[in-house]
Chain A
Amino acid sequence: GAGVSQTPSNKVTEKGKYVELRCDPISGHTALYWYRQSLGQGPEFLIYFQGTGAADDSGLPNDRFFAVRPEGSVSTLKIQRTERGDSAVYLCASSLDRGVDEQYFGPGTRLTVT
């Protein structure tokens, strides 16, 4: 079946602008995760959804970052007043359920803030 999809694949924006990154999980997966990966580093946890609710948002760096999953499927990561330090690859993953279930990653969105 189809894997996790993310759009756009690349996003270039100017400092101070607002961006939205979209994730469509594997069909039937109830858990959805956002990670951020900088060059030479492993992915860094941002937020986790179980269904429609954000079960753990402890990884969001500050209040400029926000994510929603209104119908328990597609999720959108929103970044306000972007800064150059936000430049990274934003990865979305999904799993059948939370916890020990294996997480499958989408292709990522490369965000560049100029």
Chain B
Amino acid sequence: QKEVEQNSGPLSVPEGAIASLNCTYSDRGSQSFFWYRQYSGKSPELIMSIYSNGDKEDGRFTAQLNKASQYVSLLIRDSQPSDSATYLCAGEWGSSNTGKLIFGQGTTLQVKP
């Protein structure tokens, strides 16, 4: 089992819709999770961090964490064509606070005008 798993997609949504991106992880000790956006040919850009169970909202983005189910998600409201990118989920490895991140392979999002 991969340590952080994401569906590679592509996930296609129409402009204005809600895009839902999901991620599961295997390490129960992981405490911190991050969502990065990566445009083709560019480096990952941090969108959201989440450390506690529940929801965290920032503008059009909402991150959700459920530690009991080992599940992290990212919702993008009012999706725009400029949101088309690969979204990477990352979890901190273990509970020793090292900052070592384990990434999923990413989900490609396509927002159709």
Which A residues are within 8 Å of any B CB, using their own CB? 31, 33, 35, 40-45, 48, 55-56, 58-59, 89, 91, 95, 98-108
Contact = CB atoms under 8 A, between A and B. Distances in A.
| B interface bracket (residues with beta carbon within 8 Å of A) | 20 to 34
Interface in B62-98: 88, 90, 92-93, 97-98
28 contacts: A31-B99, A33-B100, A35-B101, A35-B103, A40-B105, A42-B105, A42-B106, A43-B44, A43-B90, A44-B103, A45-B93, A45-B100, A48-B98, A48-B99, A58-B100, A91-B44, A95-B99, A99-B32, A100-B51, A100-B92, A100-B99, A102-B34, A102-B46, A102-B49, A105-B36, A105-B46, A107-B42, A108-B43
A102 B44 CA distance: 12
B99 A103 contact: yes
Contacts of B101: 33, 35, 43, 45, 103
Given A42-B105, A105-B45, A108-B43, A100 B97 contact: yes
Interface in B2-34: 4, 8, 31-32, 34
B98 A98 contact: yes
